[in-house]
Amino acid sequence: MEENNLHPHPPAIPEPEQTPPTPDIPETPKTSDIPEVPDTPEIPSFSQPSPPPPQQTAPPPVTGYPQNYGYPQQPPPPYYGNQNYPNYHNPNNYNYYYQNTFRPQYQQPMYYQYPAYPQSYPPPPQKAVPPVPAAKPLPMNRKIFVLCGVMAAMIFLLCLYCIISDIMHGALNPEITSNTVVLEMQEKPDLDPEDENVTADKEYTVRGVAELVKPSIVEVYVYDENHNLNGTGSGIIISEDGYIITNAHVVQGNDYSVTLDDETEYSAQLIGSDNKTDLAVLKVNATNLTPAILGNSDETYVGESVVAIGSPAGLANSVTKGIVSCNSRQIRSQSSNFKMECIQTDAAISPGNSGGALVNMYGQVIGITSSKYASQYEATYEGLGFAITTNQALPIVQELIENGYVSGRYRIGIVFMSTESTYAAEDFQEKFGTELPPELEHCLWITEISEDCDISHTELRADDFIISMNGHKVTDYDSVLEVLDGFKGGDTVTARCAKFDKGRISYYDIEFKLEEDKSGNY
């Protein structure tokens, strides 16, 4: 058989030969004393069968944990004996003897195995936890709740106010698309004399003026609350997007419409009105309209030819010719007693012409015709027409477009008559049964006091008299305007007053604040 034949257990190894104990060796005698010893006989050799080696068994596997860190347990390889010493059968071989004497019987090839930790420990037993009741919301502080409610109500009211304000000012009206327009006056143009509508003086003929300006003049229709026609007038287009100038006394109604030169009709909305100057602005929802050319009224001269274009008596785009009789006439409005600078002309201006255009021979609008200023003369005189100058009208129109009213106005809150007038003395005689005293002949006789003004909280009453304001004598409307020139709403005024009672005059002083006026009536 081959020497490296494989066995499940190592072959039996013979036990080493037992060596007898060594006897005590006496002290070595001297050489001379040592007798001769015969040669030691040779020990016969003998061989015995070697006893089988102890059985090598594998240590028991470690229990309680998975082996090899969770990997499957690998069996140890079989033991094939000591293959490094092929001569282990020789009992005299020192290496064999040494290796088999001190080698542990259970030794196998070293396979050190670490205990594997478990992949996961079983969860510890859970204790039953009672359910936690849902947290109740803390009650809101009553003051905080009330404050939040008040703030929400204020925000709601503010939003409601803004919506109503937008509606009142036309912000939500689809007919109103803009509230800004720049009004500019142009210089007189240098016309071409070769044009058939231009004269040798380089001015338009009446025909040329009419053809140029008529597309910018409209007829205004005014309706009452039942949509019944209440009156008509004229207007001047001043912007491509539909702003129209007219007179304030024309738009005394509820609804409005305008008809263009080509008979196109639009509904209109009132942007602003100022009764004090008899000016108003309408707006139509239209584009690409033909605006009129505005001229400088200060460049007019007496005797200059002019043309009035309007719709007198409902006759649309009527044209009348005249001259400038006076280029700067201060005319007082019969309704507000306020003076305006007007151009006097002999061109026919009838009630339907109100709000129309007074045009120079260069096709430029130099005035807004108004029958209101001529009404006090028309019963007695003929050939008297007046037009508000563009230089005085345009600042008013600009503010009406931007604000809807003329800013910087004030009102005192009184209605009065001047005692200098002839009918004042007659009224005083009828009221008090006596003649007007000389002390009251040059003052203001109060006939009415507005309850919404600060002056109503003073001692002043109806049928009393105001002698002076801020230390200056006041006798009529013009003197009041002169004394209060530069004042505005909220300013304080002092006045010296008088009371007539049973033939006696008593004097007293008052102090009051002016009210801001946006109505345009004062």
Q: Which long-range contacts (CB under 8 A, 24 or more apart) does 484-488 make?
A: 484/410, 484/514, 487/410, 487/514, 488/408, 488/410, 488/514, 488/516
Pairing type for strands 339-345 and 318-332 reads antiparallel
**Are 415 and 296 in a shared domain?**
no
**Are 396 and 416 in a shared domain?**
no
Task: Give the mean pLDDT of 468-496.
Answer: 93
Examine the pLDDT at 285 and tell me if it is beyond 80.
yes
**Are 165 and 254 in a shared domain?**
no
Examine the pLDDT at 394 and tell me if it is beyond 90.
yes
Q: 298 phi and psi, to 5 degrees?
A: -70, -15
Examine the pLDDT at 517 and tell me if it is beyond 80.
yes
Residue 99 lies in a domain: yes
DSSP string, 367-384: EEE-HHHHHHHHTT-SS-
Of 60-69, 360-369, 428-437, the least confident: 60-69
Residue 339 lies in a domain: yes
- CATH, residue 471: 2.30.42.10
249 noted as active-site residue: yes
Q: Of the residues 241, 278, 464, 517, which is catalytic?
A: 278
**Are 394 and 420 in a shared domain?**
no
Band of pLDDT at residue 21, cut at 50, 70 and 90: low
pLDDT the model gives residue 1 = 41
Query: Between 29 and 188, whose confidence is greater?
Result: 188
Band of pLDDT at residue 6, cut at 50, 70 and 90: very low
pLDDT the model gives residue 258 = 96
pLDDT the model gives residue 129 = 64
Of 136-140, 226-230, 456-460, the least confident: 136-140
Query: Between 87 and 341, whose confidence is greater?
Result: 341
**Domain count of the chain?**
4
**Are 229 and 355 in a shared domain?**
yes
**Are 364 and 227 in a shared domain?**
yes
Q: Of the residues 216, 354, 370, 468, which is catalytic?
A: 354
**Are 386 and 420 in a shared domain?**
no
**Are 398 and 448 in a shared domain?**
no
**Are 239 and 371 in a shared domain?**
yes
- State the pTM of this model: 0.62
Nearest residue to 216 (alpha-carbon basis) of 187, 237, 191: 237
Task: Give the mean pLDDT of 451-474.
Answer: 95
Task: Give the mean pLDDT of 416-442.
Answer: 91
Residue 335 lies in a domain: yes
**Are 384 and 480 in a shared domain?**
no
pLDDT tens string 142-189: 667 677 777 888 888 887 777 776 655 444 444 444 466 777 788 888
278 noted as active-site residue: yes
Band of pLDDT at residue 60, cut at 50, 70 and 90: low
Task: Give the mean pLDDT of 359-369.
Answer: 95
Q: Which residues pair with 220 in a beta bridge?
A: 233, 258
Task: Say what percent of the chain tops pLDDT 70.
Answer: 66
9 noted as active-site residue: no
Query: Between 510 and 79, whose confidence is greater?
Result: 510
Distance CA 96, CA 89 (A): 8
pLDDT the model gives residue 85 = 46
Distance CA 228, CA 251 (A): 14
- CATH, residue 305: 2.40.10.120
Band of pLDDT at residue 26, cut at 50, 70 and 90: low
Q: Which residues are CB-contacts of 381 (< 8 A; sequence separation ≥ 6)?
A: none
Nearest residue to 345 (alpha-carbon basis) of 362, 359, 364: 359
Average per-residue pLDDT for the chain: 78
Quote the domain boundaries for residue 75: 1-16+49-117
pLDDT the model gives residue 50 = 58
pLDDT tens string 98-115: 444 444 544 445 544 555
Q: Of the residues 216, 234, 249, 318, which is catalytic?
A: 249
pLDDT the model gives residue 520 = 79
